[in-house]
Structure 1
Amino acid sequence: MKNIHAALLAIALTASAAGAQADPHHKHRACKACGKVTNVYVTEKNGDGGATGVIVGGLAGGLLGNQVGSGTGKSLATVAGAVGGAYAGKHIEGRMNKVRTWNVKVRFDDGKTGTYHFRKDPHLRTGERVRRNDGTIVRS
Structure 2
Amino acid sequence: MKNIQAALLAFALSASAAGAQADPHHNKHRVCDSCGKVTSVYVTEKHGDGGATGVIVGGLAGGLLGNQVGSGTGKSLATVAGAVGGAYAGKHIEGRMNKVRTWNVKVRFDNGKTGVYHFRDNPHMANGDRVRRTDGTIVRS
* Structure-2-length-normalised TM-score: 0.80
What are the Cα deviations for residues 102-136 of structure 1, in whole angstroms up to 9, with x where unaligned? Answer: 00000000000000000000000000000100000
List 4+ stretches of structure 1 deviating above 6 A: none
Matches within 5 A, 1:20-35: 28-35=29-36
* SS of equivalent to 1:122: coil
What is the deviation of 1:28? 4.4
Question: Is residue 139 of structure 1 aligned with residue 140 of structure 2?
Answer: yes
What is the deviation of 1:29? 2.2
* SS of equivalent to 2:49: coil
Question: Is residue 52 of structure 1 aligned with residue 53 of structure 2?
Answer: yes
The residue type equivalent to 1:88 in the other structure is A
* SS of equivalent to 2:82: helix
Residue of structure 1 equivalent to 2:21: none
Task: State the distance in 2 between where 1:113 and 1:119 align.
Answer: 20
Residue of structure 2 equivalent to 1:83: 84
Residue of structure 2 equivalent to 1:124: 125
Matches within 5 A, 1:38-117: 38-117=39-118
What is the deviation of 1:30? 1.4
* Structure-1-length-normalised TM-score: 0.80
Q: Quick one: percent identity of the two aligned structures?
A: 87
Residue segments in structure 2 that go unaligned for 5+ positions in a row: 1-26
* SS of equivalent to 1:102: strand
Residue segments in structure 1 that go unaligned for 5+ positions in a row: 1-25
Task: State the distance in 1 between where 2:102 and 2:134 align.
Answer: 20
* SS of equivalent to 1:40: strand
The residue type equivalent to 1:63 in the other structure is L
State the Cα RMSD in Å. 1.0
Task: State the distance in 2 between where 1:101 and 1:71 align.
Answer: 51
Task: State the distance in 1 between where 2:28 and 2:127 align.
Answer: 26
* SS of equivalent to 2:56: helix
* SS of equivalent to 1:114: strand
The residue type equivalent to 2:32 in the other structure is C
What are the Cα deviations for residues 59-89 of structure 1, in whole angstroms up to 9, with x where unaligned? Answer: 0000000000000000000000000000000
The residue type equivalent to 2:109 in the other structure is F
Task: State the distance in 2 between where 1:32 and 1:82 align.
Answer: 58
What is the deviation of 1:27? 5.6
